[in-house]
Structure 1
């Protein structure tokens, strides 16, 4: 796959060339659409048409008639142009540093260094500058959509509750398992002897697996499953999609374990849990911490602030009350009145310097003064606890699913709206 498939190549401006014979300028480009305060050029349309035709051809699909495809592509360019104009009026700018990071990410996704990425673009007939311009445009459009469409989406608490209670919600938010299976078949209407023989075979396989036999090799050699030649690989399955008793059996298993043989209508099945993801408990550590903040200012230098923090630390070490000193000296308005208390807090929301000192300070002890971007701190860890955020995590997942669902619908509505409200004159 060409890298240019990931980027939409754009042609720049109008191209003019001088004729030696007539000594006059002959335009080789022309305006094909006026879109509010901007225009779309024939060269832009031709470039995008070529790209779309190549993409369709790679899929092996029939390419629509030229006039139909041309109108479709032009309409797409009009919508992009409108969004870029909205971004410009809204003051959305993508700086060089942010753009370089985005291009670095694209190169990384393609397992390339920036230099290799640039060379690959050249091989695909795309200049590096054109690629940068295209990525910038895509980033602006994405940001415009986040602002204009995102602000139109509202998800209520009741919608979240209804989704979590629904069968669809339970299905989408349940754990996922990557499974492999071995099937010892039993024919419909089989005799009790045949069933017992199959059960004995399944038990024998299970015993060998428990003793360390390779599951994939056993599946290839003994299984009648359609995935036997793939080592029994079944891929990922949602917990809610699994029939009893596998749903409950797998929930208590660890990756790498196998189930005992289970009788099913088709025979005896042994399942191996290869991996699991999602759905489980989301346990996070919270810390009960308090601090005193001394900020440098125009009338107090950084060195003076450090010395004041050291004096306060010495007073606490001598037995003075941390909370009283915080009320009198701390310059963190959010915590000073509470004796410097930040209450129970997730360490990840704190700046790295504060987090590092807090993590290395035992419960009940006071840290020596240390510096962050906010100033000089003294902290005391009051306690630590593990908090199960599973329910909160599920609610956030449900919120994201509902927002994404509404976003797709709202985006189409918004695009139609800005298209209807715009002045567009086509000149094909």
Structure 2
């Protein structure tokens, strides 16, 4: 809706860069303010575009160069304004991208085969690029941080639509949940504790931590990297994890400890100020019938209280729910897309099918009986669902859809501010583009009023 291309001016450049095979001699495809953009850099971004499952489209390279030029301008301004990122932030972002790419490639070996080198080697190669991307993104945030819209501006934005061009809003619902995950008793936990304790003893006797992590750890994201979690600070891990990690010296292996995710052993590899570089092995408890039955009984008892109205839904969620993402929001599911802020109004077509099946036959105000489910994280349990409201498909109106139009109006204002900012910087920057790409419509704007 009325999107100006600057909305995503550095989005593509934030993607993880995949090393393209260089069959031709590298060359400079563009220069802005003395900062070159190399053909190899362009090919890396295009390879990433293909790696996302997109069809081959050489024309997209024009768009990629446009984004890279924008990033260079933001980086230049960041240096002037002393906007920077900590090395620890770069470490965290690198580790996040690596884990995502390993999962997408189907394992570390597949990714390394595609790259033609080890992940550690590649992480060092792209470190500078990733840091530049983070700095540029932070600079863009600084440019737009104080932009807000008034109710009058929202109305003006809404009124700019012709009546016959107002968007159609699909059906939306507000859905709450109270989630119950199984809890093991002491005897049930012991066999999982013993399983990881045997791994700890094998490491103590000289076996390789990374090999055992790859073989046995049930944290699939880190297991492929030998359990390596990269650098993290105290705010990024659960308290049980940080309590152990920040007590160990480099090289030390912890005793077995428990968190909400299961049983861990942890080894600190390096300390850097208030950052720890560690690896771990995780064994997740498997919940068998006795623990599931106890959970169902607990869920049933809460359901009875809700039906008898001896407790309100918000109170039930904050008191009993085991889902930390929703319990402090009255149990309500939150939805967010690339435009609107997080909202309790969830498009029906975006709902988890297992939730839609339950609420489809419910009336507004109803609560469901406890339903067994397995989440995307693999955790199983029972949940009670609450249908707070249902909005049928309708033509957009300011009264009913004010939050949406407020976000749209604010995004347009941000887009315009960014467009103006880039236009001024282009006019005072020396920009050169290789003849091969001068015919790109996206790039003509960049050379139109720039210094020659």
TM category, shorter = 0.3 to 0.5
Task: Give me the TM-score of the superposition, normalised by structure 2.
Answer: 0.37
Mark the structure with the bigger radius of gyration. 1
Greater relative CO, 1 or 2 (CA 8 Å, sep 6+): 2
Task: Give me the TM-score of the superposition, normalised by structure 1.
Answer: 0.38
